[in-house]
Amino acid sequence: MQLTFLGATGTVTGSKYLLREGGSSVLVDCGLFQGYKDLRLRNWSPLPVPAASIDAVILTHAHLDHSGYLPLLARSGFRGKVYCTSGTYDLCKILLPDSGYLLEEEAEFLNRHQLSKHKPALPLYTRDDAVRCLKLFRPVRNRDAFRPAAGLAATFSHSGHMPGSSFVRIDTGSRSILFSGDIGRPEDMMLTPPVQVDGADYLVVESTYGDRLHERSDVLTQIADVVNRTAKRGGVVVIPAFAVGRAQTMLHCLRLLKDSGAIAADMPVYLNSPMAAAATQVYYDHIDELRLSREDCEAMARAATIVETPDESRELNRRHGPMVIVAASGMATGGRVVHHLKAFAPDKRNTILFAGFQAGGTRGATIAAGAPTVRIHGEDIPVRAEVKMLDTLSAHADAEEIISWLRGFRQAPRQTFITHGEPAAADAMRQRIERQLHWECRAPYYLESVDLE
């Protein structure tokens, strides 16, 4: 068995792990690189292995840093099956076509305003590419064994990160390997906790928050303070939020705050992401993975006015506060939130509220670090708005929560590979595992291949 790391090494994006056993080749996750330009350029380079040589893809979940390269893989010649849970499939049906549409929209914007060095600027892939790749999907239920390729058996187990997210265990009969994907939190306000698994001979584990612990503060109080403080200034709260996961959590929180009177019941709240609105329906369909009742989901869906069209989105930029705008994307790498940041970041009455991890090299990371300006559409936009970060709402387990989950293994891995983290976080996670669990582990490098004896 050989494992090659095609992504998520030294970064939290681009998750791709190629597993070879005998004559079989399986890719676990197929994500886009995001953040720094040298990472994003990898999306445009051919994979180190021919796409047609891959027998199957197994997805841990639907976020684009784990699934967003699939349309390009299929366009490059991949003809195998894509295995995932039904929740992941339902979300990919929304996320992937929307990703292609946004890539086309961004290229068109750059060409129209002559903002690209490329003549013309082209999208990485199109909406049609994404729709075509969905024909390759084969949903599988959690705990049901399936055979992605000759000599390999695999199972999914609920990981609590988002609807459909799962741990993936692959067995050959003599060896086994477990991929954590993104690990959810045991006390998440929306999702049921990650299930405990028995372990495997080898482990690939994420380390997004491997060097820190989440605050144990009251997130509702924090959000209320931000909204009320901004409202007194007559300002706008702009919340960059992942369309699946964080957007729904923010809507749930804002609804609870209105119901309790902690923020004004008539405070205008806009959800400027048709994709997020569609994804909310998936929560209804997979309510068994949630802590919420069906009534809670319905109330969450009613918590905001849905902004449907680009014209409606542009109209928001001409309005004044107080109001709250929840818009994708979560790290401000693209989508409608970028236009809102361009409109509202220069005004000190406004607030930019981040509710999730900001990968290095993204606009979100630049703003969160306190930069006085941020580059948007070829312009340096002043950032005078208040900037606030809410780590409490993260859907990723922190360092101690990961250790707690690992302690539940009945079988200690022969080797643990630390991935999906910035270098400092991955190394901190390595040290914590070595010191507390006494497991052999290390952080692999990009394109490294390891023989699993």
* 102 and 173 co-located in one domain: yes
Q: What is the CATH number of the domain that holds 440?
A: 3.60.15.10
Report the pLDDT value the prediction gives residue 310, as an integer from 0 to 100.
86
257-281 residue pLDDT tens = 999 999 999 999 999 887 777 887 8
Q: In angstroms, rounded to a whole number, what is the distance separating the alpha carbons of residues 56 and 143?
A: 19
* 6 and 134 co-located in one domain: yes
Is the distance from CB of 9 to CB of 444 less than 8 angstroms?
A: yes
CA dist list (Å): 445 to 8, 9, 271, 331, 374: 9, 6, 39, 24, 30
pLDDT interval class at 301 (50, 70, 90): confident
Report the pLDDT value the prediction gives residue 161, as an integer from 0 to 100.
95
Does the structure show a pLDDT above 80 at 429?
yes
* 233 and 358 co-located in one domain: yes
* 278 and 308 co-located in one domain: yes
Report the pLDDT value the prediction gives residue 332, as an integer from 0 to 100.
80
Q: What is the CATH number of the domain that holds 253?
A: 3.40.50.10890
28-62 residue pLDDT tens = 999 999 988 999 999 999 999 999 999 999 999 99
143-169 residue pLDDT tens = 999 999 999 999 999 999 999 999 999
Does the structure show a pLDDT above 80 at 286?
yes
Is the distance from CB of 300 to CB of 335 less than 8 angstroms?
A: no
* 203 and 267 co-located in one domain: no
* 260 and 356 co-located in one domain: yes
Which residues have CB under 8 Å from 50's CB, separation 6+?
77
Report strand pairing: 146-149 vs 152-158: antiparallel
pLDDT interval class at 415 (50, 70, 90): very high
* 240 and 194 co-located in one domain: no
Report the pLDDT value the prediction gives residue 300, as an integer from 0 to 100.
87
Report the pLDDT value the prediction gives residue 105, as an integer from 0 to 100.
85
* 207 and 231 co-located in one domain: no
Report the pLDDT value the prediction gives residue 435, as an integer from 0 to 100.
97
Neighbours of 4 (CB within 10 A): 18
Count of domains forming the chain: 2
Host domain of residue 240: 219-393
Is the distance from CB of 160 to CB of 87 less than 8 angstroms?
A: no
Report the pLDDT value the prediction gives residue 69, as an integer from 0 to 100.
98
* 402 and 340 co-located in one domain: no
Q: In angstroms, rounded to a whole number, what is the distance separating the alpha carbons of residues 377 and 342?
A: 9
Mean pLDDT throughout 218-246?
A: 92
Q: Is 453 helix (H, G, I), strand (E, B) or coil?
A: coil
pLDDT interval class at 309 (50, 70, 90): confident
Name which of 252, 182, 244 is nearest 219 in CA terms: 252
* 44 and 166 co-located in one domain: yes
Q: Of 353, 374, 393, at which residue does a domain stop?
A: 393
Q: Of 393, 415, 435, at which residue does a domain stop?
A: 393
Alpha helices in 268-335 (DSSP H): 274-285, 294-301, 310-316
432-441 residue pLDDT tens = 999 999 999 9
pLDDT interval class at 102 (50, 70, 90): confident
**What is the chain's mean pLDDT, rounded?**
93
CA dist list (Å): 403 to 209, 348, 409, 437: 12, 41, 10, 8
* 185 and 268 co-located in one domain: no
Taking the whole predicted model, whether its pTM rises above 0.95 is answered as: no
Q: In angstroms, rounded to a whole number, what is the distance separating the alpha carbons of residues 219 and 253?
A: 8
Report the pLDDT value the prediction gives residue 100, as an integer from 0 to 100.
93
Name which of 106, 102, 104, 123 is nearest 115 in CA terms: 106
* 40 and 112 co-located in one domain: yes
Phi-psi region of 361 (alpha: psi -120 to 50; beta: other; left: phi over 0): left
